[in-house]
Structure 1
């Protein structure tokens, strides 16, 4: 009752299930997006984390409302704490990541590439002598291709994006302007909360008139990296990893015990799941200044969502 592992509602049309979100497309061009409590990694659902879906939806709401003067977004309504009604868009085939620091662990992150000796990437020229987790001279956009069918994201330069027909020159300029302005707003508001917004992913789409619209989520703990501002300088000087919202307890626990891509996942301890839930709740409080209220003991989350979405039933 207190977890939302899935949100299949047969009265709603055109259901499809993403890694974390369950979606329904309405005939009038609206999309119902329900954030479940699933924790996804290694191309599979590992666990169900209490309050995760609510935290992601409400954190994104906080940021959508504080950035709508910069760029239009897909939000139409919030009928439930786990649900957003959005405008259905044609998602652009380029993933936009803005980075303010030399950080990251993935194969396409600036830090990973920099440590390999790469200085020319994403159409950028990186200076020599940068340290791990150091601030870049200015925030930069590091776009990648969107991987399909098990492929991997690949770095792109602005010239490649336009010459390959992924975006027009006007679209690229608009997306770039929006992304850098959103990131600047995010960094400024995060600083007021004692946080550093390190990097983030944005997803953009186009509506029926070709307008570029911000979609999906914005500045959530799943789409963004945050560091604690008060300890950053000391940790950088000591060569230590900056203090962050470390919510990877479950991922780390699983990888220590099996090959998560091929093996059966062991039963994950309840205390590990609760620690992860506590990190998400704490992240919401630190980012927004608000508190996720506990769910009433007798409340069934899916029943609540069904009741709130009844006006959208066919």
Structure 2
């Protein structure tokens, strides 16, 4: 990821933190250049060590995370990775708050809430907000404190937007890590506001940002808590922290879209092709593999059953979308002869009466009906994602 970056494009140094420097871009003043450092800190900087290679690992992790969020439609500042330890982002005014989302109770939460047992599960996730103030150890703030602080451009609506986006980010990444057999215990993110007033997920999201337990086991933790817990910091223990961070980046990079799945779009006749094209367009947008087969349940019943049997034996996770107008027997016939999910998507006439043959089905026929082509594709993609 990222090649050589022309350092001549580094503009004014806007801010230097414990683990990164942020410069204005000379070529595009609406963007900033973020340089990660080979530095690890904890306890508001009370503990700090050089860790060779950390900048590259952190940049890789951050890039993978923000690319996932951008692909999911989350508004972020991230643009692209420019070199192994540099990425480009939109210039924003940072909001001096950290938004914390917790799935399991651990760490400081247990100290603040005696009686809550370790790994108590929050459903929905617990959300907290900290005011960024190292001198006072980033104190927790309520919504009322944020409002009364009169932060620039931050009111009740903006608080609710950031709160909701924090939850969205957590739930996306929780599902990603669950797919990789890891539990996202908690995480923190920050926001910025651009010159149009848009609220964007900002700063960085890497191994400094979360608690991550492979197989759901605290003793296998791979996040920065390992560094925080060290009683004696040695070169060997620091190297183990770096190995953990690299494992996180490499594991995220291994994430692949479900390749062993397929949507079979079954059409009653070639006249359904224009309607089915809308399904194809949406599946392509989701990067879901599909095939189109034309077979009539009424006129080619044996062939329809042969098509079902063909895909029963391909060793893939299949979703059928049946597209047939008028008396739609295609979806019910397929559903009656397969254990895979079937979605009816009949092209309706102006009266809408064609839908009844898709929803008024005999007992034991469990296909769903979605009349919108793009929504049928979305439903198939959701099933595959599960």
The reply to whether TM is greater than 0.5 is: yes
Paired residue for 1:20? 19
Pick one of 189, 197, 204 that aligns with 1:217: 204
Distance 1:11 1:84, change over 3 A: closer
- Matches of 2:8 and 2:48, distance apart in 1: 25
Moved over 6 A (4+): none
Paired residue for 1:176? 163
Paired residue for 2:174? 187
Please report how far the alpha carbon of residue 17 of structure 1 lies from its aligned counterpart in structure 2 after TM superposition: 2.7
Pick one of 122, 127, 134 that aligns with 1:141: 127
Please report how far the alpha carbon of residue 45 of structure 1 lies from its aligned counterpart in structure 2 after TM superposition: 7.0
- Matches of 1:221 and 1:143, distance apart in 2: 19
- Matches of 1:247 and 1:135, distance apart in 2: 21
- The answer to whether residue 92 in structure 2 is matched with residue 98 in structure 1 is no
Is the partner of 1:50 in helix, strand or coil? coil
- Matches of 1:214 and 1:45, distance apart in 2: 27
Paired residue for 1:37? 38
Q: Is the 8 A contact 1:99 1:141 kept in 2?
A: yes
Q: Cα deviation per residue 1:184-236 (whole Å; 9 max; x = unaligned)?
A: 11111110000011111111010001100111112x2111111122x54xxxx
TM-score by length of 1: 0.70
Q: Is the 8 A contact 1:49 1:276 kept in 2?
A: no
Please report how far the alpha carbon of residue 77 of structure 1 lies from its aligned counterpart in structure 2 after TM superposition: 2.5
- Matches of 1:134 and 1:243, distance apart in 2: 18
Please report how far the alpha carbon of residue 275 of structure 1 lies from its aligned counterpart in structure 2 after TM superposition: 2.1
Q: Is the 8 A contact 1:38 1:45 kept in 2?
A: no
Instruction: Please identify which structure carries the higher helix content.
Output: 2
Q: Is the 8 A contact 2:31 2:88 kept in 1?
A: yes
Q: Which sits farther off after the overlay, 180-189 or 59-68?
A: 59-68
Please report how far the alpha carbon of residue 72 of structure 1 lies from its aligned counterpart in structure 2 after TM superposition: 1.2
Q: Is the 8 A contact 1:39 1:49 kept in 2?
A: yes
Distance 1:177 1:250, change over 3 A: closer
Does 1 or 2 have the higher relative contact order (CA < 8 Å, sep 6+)?
1
Is the partner of 2:136 in helix, strand or coil? coil
Q: Which sits farther off after the overlay, 38-47 or 156-165?
A: 38-47
Pick one of 204, 222, 240 that aligns with 1:245: 222
Higher Rg: 2
Q: Is the 8 A contact 1:70 1:178 kept in 2?
A: no
Distance 1:249 1:184, change over 3 A: closer
Is the partner of 1:65 in helix, strand or coil? helix
Unpaired stretches in structure 2, ≥5 consecutive residues = 1-6, 256-386
Q: Is the 8 A contact 1:19 1:45 kept in 2?
A: no
Q: CA-atom RMSD, angstroms?
A: 2.5
Please report how far the alpha carbon of residue 160 of structure 1 lies from its aligned counterpart in structure 2 after TM superposition: 2.7
- The answer to whether residue 243 in structure 2 is matched with residue 287 in structure 1 is no
Q: Is the 8 A contact 1:199 1:224 kept in 2?
A: yes
Please report how far the alpha carbon of residue 78 of structure 1 lies from its aligned counterpart in structure 2 after TM superposition: 1.6
- Matches of 1:168 and 1:102, distance apart in 2: 29
Please report how far the alpha carbon of residue 13 of structure 1 lies from its aligned counterpart in structure 2 after TM superposition: 2.6
Distance 1:247 1:102, change over 3 A: closer
Please report how far the alpha carbon of residue 44 of structure 1 lies from its aligned counterpart in structure 2 after TM superposition: 5.8
Paired residue for 2:369? none
Q: Is the 8 A contact 2:105 2:118 kept in 1?
A: yes
- Matches of 1:206 and 1:20, distance apart in 2: 22
- Matches of 1:165 and 1:22, distance apart in 2: 28
- Matches of 1:252 and 1:184, distance apart in 2: 27
- Matches of 1:44 and 1:73, distance apart in 2: 30
Is the partner of 2:200 in helix, strand or coil? strand
